[in-house]
Amino acid sequence: MADTKQTIRDFLAQFFGDHQLADDEDIFATGFVNSLFVMQLVLFVENEFSMTIADEDLEMANFRTVSAIEALVARKHTTVVS
């Protein structure tokens, strides 16, 4: 899953400039993102990992950190396979 995390970090880097975002750091508490960010993040996850973010996935806990997004991607991929 290292690649997934790196892909997520690469995407997020555009919003954080020189700030080094830790994998467990609260993205929304950093003050770097604006009101359009959630939508861009949802689009990114759907597009990059070929999945659909459904209503039931829309929990802040699923998007708050790099690790949480990675876990969401893994869980959804597992769900699709099973």
Partner 1 sequence: MALRVQLTDQQSAAREEYEAFAREHVAPKAGAWDRDEELPEDFFTTIGAAGYLGAAVPATYGGGSLDAICFGLLNEEIGRACSSVRSLLTVHGMASRAVARWGSAAQREHWLPRLATGAAIGAFALTEPGAGSDVKGLATEARRTADGFVLDGAKRWITFGRRADVYLLFARLDGRETAFLVERTSPGLQVTPVPGILGTRASMLAELELRACQVPAEALLGRPGFGLSAVAADALELGRYSVAWGCVGLSQACLDSSLDYAGEREQFGVPLRDHQLVQRMLADMATGTSAARLLCQQAGWLRDAADPQAVHATWLAKYYSSTTAFRSATDAVQVHGAHGCGAEYPVQRYLRDAKVMEIIEGSTELQQTTIAHTAYHSRRAAAFRPAADRRATGPAERTMTV
Q: Show Cβ contacts of residue 68 under 8 Å, excluding neighbours closer than 6 positions.
A: 61, 62
Query: Is there binding between residue 79 and partner 1 (CB under 8 A)?
Result: no
By CB under 8 A, tell whether 24 contacts partner 1: no
What's the CA gap between 2 and 39, in Å, rounded? 24
Check residue 36 for interaction with partner 1 (CB under 8 A): yes
- Answer yes or no whether residue 39 interacts with partner 1 by CB under 8 A: yes
Could you tell me the smallest distance in angstroms from the CB atom of residue 46 to partner 1?
6
Tell how far CA 16 is from the center of its chain. Answer: 14
Length of the chain: 82
Sole binder of partner 1 in the list 2, 3, 20, 47 (CB under 8 A): 47
Q: By CB under 8 A, tell whether 10 contacts partner 1.
A: yes
